[in-house]
Amino acid sequence: MSRSELRKRIEEKSLILRRDIIRMTGEAGSGHPGGSLSAADIVSTLYFYQLRHRPAEPKWRERDRFVLSKGHVAPVLYAALAESGYFSRDILWTLRKMGSILQGHPDMKKVPGVEISSGSLGQGLAVANGIALGGKLDQLDYRVYVLIGDGESQEGIVWEAAMFAAHYKLDNVTAILDYNGLQIDGTVSEVMEIRPIVDKWRAFGWHVIEIDGHNVLAIIDAFAEANTIKEKPTMIVAHTVKGKGVSFMENAIDFHGKAPTKEQMKEALKELGEVDC
């Protein structure tokens, strides 16, 4: 497959994820669409290109693992899992409803394909390190991918885990920072500056790659580069746009933790090319 065909194929999947995110949060009446949309191209490239996984066998021992540390963007993960075939797409519309397996934040005991329950920020990288250690102990060559938020990077445990991964030379860990620049109380720079973020990760002993987090070919290339790095974990700093793909949600802080209204849902789905909405 040529690179342009590959790009087209992954972007088509990203579009499906974005529509699902809108519909899921719209139907639920709550949830976190902004960060789900900013992470959509990263998650899409993981599930529909990069990850070695078997949706029919979620506990396959040799699978690559994806840890969603910023658990509030559960909709993008659920959409990717459903589209991959881990569970029926019908379940997506039960998000956040009583009795649904799709809790507001991911629950590994309820959802096939969820590697760890998350939602409390900061904990995913340490979990990813543990999974990576397990892989090394078992001499399995799977890789562990972990998606971290920019606001989340204000949590102290992120840096404890950063130290740990470098200390134990966990080259099977690839972290991705969804750097959309917005958090609940304002811009990340206003609330609690995390820059110079690339220098910080380098100083912690990581290999760092900086990319446009909506360019799927750049994402693919970054994953490929990470695979070649030995004795060091890799951090991909992915510059993204919160709410990406829906004009009135882009860079709109309010859509961090607010679902679209029914009207907004229709409008957004139209923008995302859904015909029968």
Partner 1 sequence: MSEDKKSTRGAYGDALLELGEADENIVVLDADLAKSTTSIKFAKVFPDRFFDCGVAEQNMMCTAAGLATTGKICYTGSFAIFATGRAYEQVRNTIVYSGLNVKMCPSHSGITVGEDGASHQTVEDIALMRVIPGLKVVVPADYYEAKAAIKAAARIEGPFYIRLGRPSVPIIFNNDYEFNLGKAIKLKDGSDATIFAIGIMVSASLEAAKILEKEGINAEVINVSSIKPIDVNTIIESVEKTRKVVTAEEHSVIGGLGSAVAEVLCERLPAPIRMVGIKDLFGLSGSIPELLEYFHLTPQDIVLAVKNLVYQ
User: Residue 226 belongs to what H/E stretch?
Assistant: helix 216-228
CA–CA gap between residue 155 and residue 125 (Å, rounded): 11
Please, which residue, 107 or 271, has the CB nearer to partner 1?
A: 107
From 79-87, 114-122, 241-249, 256-264, span contacting partner 1 (CB under 8 A):
114-122
- Cα distances from 261 to residues 3, 25, 26, 29, 97, in angstroms, run 38, 9, 6, 7, 17
Q: Give the three-state DSSP class for 209.
A: strand
Query: Cis omega (within 30 of 0) on the bond before 196?
Result: yes
Among 51, 74, 132, 236, binds partner 1 (CB under 8 A): 132
- The letter for the amino acid at 234 is T
Nearest to 69 by CA among 144, 113, 31, 122: 122
- Cα distances from 228 to residues 198, 224, 225, in angstroms, run 19, 7, 5
Least Å distance between CB 111 and partner 1? Answer: 12
CA–CA gap between residue 59 and residue 44 (Å, rounded): 20
Among 117, 172, 180, 183, binds partner 1 (CB under 8 A): 117
From 29-37, 48-56, 120-128, 188-196, span contacting partner 1 (CB under 8 A):
120-128
Establish if 138 lies at the interface with partner 1 (CB under 8 A): yes
Establish if 113 lies at the interface with partner 1 (CB under 8 A): no
Least Å distance between CB 136 and partner 1? Answer: 9
Among 74, 76, 111, 126, binds partner 1 (CB under 8 A): 126
Please, which residue, 85 or 134, has the CB nearer to partner 1?
A: 134
**Under the rule (CB under 8 A), what is the footprint of partner 1?**
67, 107-109, 115-120, 123, 126-135, 137-138, 156-157, 160-161, 163-164, 167-168
